[in-house]
Amino acid sequence: MQRSISFDRAASFYDKTRALSPHAQDDVLNLLEEALRGRRALDIGVGTGRFAVPLARAGVDLTGLDLSETMLKQLIVNAGGESLVRLVRGDATALPFPDDTFDASLTVWVFHLIPNWRAAVDELVRVVVPDGRLVVEIGGWDSSFEIAPMFCKFAGIEPRHRGLNDIAELDAHLATHGFARSDLGEIVDRATASLEEAIRRLERGTYSYTWGVDEAKRLEAGAKLRKWAEAEHGSLDEPRTFEGSLRPRLYERG
């Protein structure tokens, strides 16, 4: 079984390359705060605290867990050195907490990084009280202009995440524990960048699905991608609008 992915190598650029627009960030935080308010919550894959730190400042009682010590150190920097979030280094598939420790859990863009994601879900069910709630945003591929999928093709990467790829699989697994899903809403976000910028990020190994490919192969795939993208979309330097959406889900026992 493959290990969960640690983001040590991404700590220095994670916030910049995964940033949402201010309005989308605020909308997501409002949904998450409403779902977690008044509950002791565990955030697995807390990372640099992009969601955890503002939620804690809004009064949410949070414990954050992550494999990466470097990401946790960056969280402390992002929090201005304040102890806003209780931090634990650990693996989501073997949580270091007793049963029924928390009233809720938060999982944002994490399950797709855990090959044994079902074990992580089972652990959350164990440490969250029976009438608690699980808040999940699974993330997904950025398929704008087909840049990421075509890079995978040229680099010989399977266009699937190592962990969870289909929300229906999560629904089905949680149903075995008695949980049903409700959608908290959809938030559409847009960003402007050139195709050249997008390709350079892939060449640099910005995203975890590229980390199994060495630099020479990434650059080779990038060269092929440039030729394809220019033939398909025209100028690589022209500003383009990339669009994505977030759909936080709430799971509770009926």
Give the pLDDT confidence of 128-186 residue by residue, as tens digits: 999 999 999 987 666 789 999 999 999 998 877 788 989 999 999 999 999 999 999 99
* 3-state SS class at 144: helix
DSSP structure class, residue 252 = E
Is residue 16 pLDDT above 80, yes or no? no
**What local confidence, expressed as pLDDT, does residue 22 receive?**
86
Q: Which pLDDT value is given to residue 176?
A: 97
Across the range 230-251, mean pLDDT stands at: 94
Q: Which long-range contacts (CB under 8 A, 24 or more apart) does 20-27 make?
A: 20/189, 20/246, 21/189, 21/190, 21/191, 24/187, 24/188, 24/189, 24/246, 27/187
pLDDT at 35 over 60: yes
Q: Is the pLDDT of residue 19 over 80?
A: no
The band of 207, judged by pLDDT with boundaries at 50, 70 and 90, is: confident
| Over residues 214-230, mean pLDDT | 97
Whole-number pLDDT of residue 1: 47
pLDDT digits (tens, 9 = 90+) for 90-111: 999 999 999 999 999 999 989 9
Does 61 score more than 90 pLDDT? Answer: yes
Q: In this structure, which amino acid lies at residue 177?
A: H
Q: Is the pLDDT of residue 46 over 80?
A: yes
From CA 149, how far away is CA 155, in angstroms rounded? 10
Instruction: Give yes or no for a contact between 62 and 55, defined as CB atoms under 8 angstroms apart.
Output: yes
Average pLDDT over residues 108-130: 95
183: DSSP letter: E
- Which residue type occupies 168? A
Residues 6+ apart with CB under 8 A from 251: 133, 134, 135, 136, 174, 179, 180, 181, 182
Q: Are 3 and 156 in contact (CB under 8 A)?
A: no
